[in-house]
Homo-oligomer: A and B are copies of this chain.
Amino acid sequence: MDKNLGTIAAGDRRNRVTISDMADALGLTKSTVSRAMNGYSDISEATQLRVRRMADKLSYQPLSHAQAIKTGRTRSLGLVLKLSDHDAQRPFLAEFLAGLSAGAHAEGWTLTVAASDSEADMIQTFRTLLRDGKADGFILPRAICDDPRVRLLREADVPFVLFGRQDDDTDCVWFDILGEDAMRDAVAHLAALGHKRIGYINGGTQYAYATLRKAGFVQGMRDAGLGVDPDLMIEGAVTSIEGAQAARTLLDRKTPPTAIVCAVDFAALGAYQAATERGLVVGRDVSVMGYDGIPEGAHADPPLTTYAVDNRVAGERLSNILIRRIRGEDPDTLRETALARFVDRGSTGPAPTEQT
């Protein structure tokens, strides 16, 4: 057992075990230790093993910024937040960060976070972070169509991973939740309850997910043998205000829907309000389903039936994928998806009997 386990204070920076200590302890040279640690094939298996064993006996880990000066890489992942997105990502951010951090930490990496106000600012932030070697690759949350970040990083040949999918897959890895499956399932759920006129409130059309979820909804309608009425589909609601507005439009149609599927929970909560304004009881007079699993949904009245996304796991997977990408693994093996979890709460019910 190592006895200096207790004194891991600041002074630790001084009596940190270095590669020279390793070399001395093993009777080898620095270069051999280094190449052994990095798995070079010109070091014998036996020596590699001996070095590795000594490494975790002395709990030696190369200083990332010491390696960086030669290799340019610091074992850190970059995350650049865009402020205008914040309203939307607010509920997820904490868990998402926790996941990212956990995924990075598991491999001995760290997470560098920056924020930017404008898009131009964001691009500049990427460049600075890269130039100063503060990040070896980037996590890009909220994939959007024809993403400027993707363009930048691709042409700069810098590794990145998307949260969300992208049309052009070349050299592009991602993790995503199958929102389209959720939307399809939502329709099936409602159809099973007897609903025939089902409205759909989509999210921001600039985001990649919007197209997918909408397609999922349409597919669900087809699967259920229901007609798709363009008049019952509205785009671009990501806040509860926008959701309320959209729901008002839907509920004021001549033949209003008996159920509304929302691509975003916030919009669904807005739909609650629109329904209440019209004297409709959610879950009885009109069914509402959301997607995201925001905590506010659980406390709404009635609790919102939705598809919950595990943002912690998403973060973990994203970090892991990005690290493997940076290490050079084949992009084609680095795309993952997961399913949203159906949370059946009180906001859906049997279709009200017709009484035109």
A residues near B, CB below 8 A?
Answer: 8-13, 16, 61, 63-66, 68-69, 72, 74, 76, 79, 81, 83, 86-87, 89-91, 93-95, 97-98, 101-102, 105, 110-115, 125, 127, 129-134, 155-158, 240-241, 295-296, 299
Contact = CB atoms under 8 A, between A and B. Distances in A.
Contacts of A131: 8, 12-13, 16
A111 B110 contact: no
B91 A95 contact: no
B115 A13 contact: no
Contacts of A95: 86
Contacts of A11: 156
7 contacts: A9-B157, A13-B131, A65-B68, A90-B91, A101-B113, A101-B115, A110-B134
A90 B98 CA distance: 12
A35 to B, nearest CB: 20
Contacts of A16: 131
Contact of A133 (B65, B83, B125, B127): B65
Contact of A132 (B9, B64, B111): B64
Contact of A112 (B83, B86, B112, B157): B112
Contacts of A97: 81, 93, 113, 115
Nearest to A105: B114
Count of identical protomers in the assembly? 2
Contacts of A61: 132
Given A65-B66, A86-B95, 15 more contacts: A9-B155, A10-B157, A16-B131, A63-B132, A65-B74, A65-B133, A76-B134, A87-B295, A90-B90, A90-B93, A90-B295, A102-B115, A111-B113, A113-B113, A241-B299
A112 B114 contact: no
A338 B6 CA distance: 39
A110 B130 CA distance: 12
A9 B125 CA distance: 12
A111 B134 CA distance: 10
Contacts of A129: 110
B115 A112 contact: no
Contacts of A111: 112-114
Given A64-B132, A68-B65, A130-B13, A81 B93 contact: no
Contacts of A90: 90-91, 93-94, 295
Contacts of A83: 94, 98
A87 to B, nearest CB: 8
A111 B63 CA distance: 18
Nearest to A125: B105
Nearest to A134: B110
A98 B81 contact: yes
Nearest to A315: B115
Nearest to A155: B9
Contacts of A296: 296
B112 A8 contact: no
B110 A98 contact: no
A127 to B, nearest CB: 5
A172 to B, nearest CB: 16
Contacts of A98: 81, 83, 86, 115
Given A65-B133, A299-B240, A114 B94 contact: no
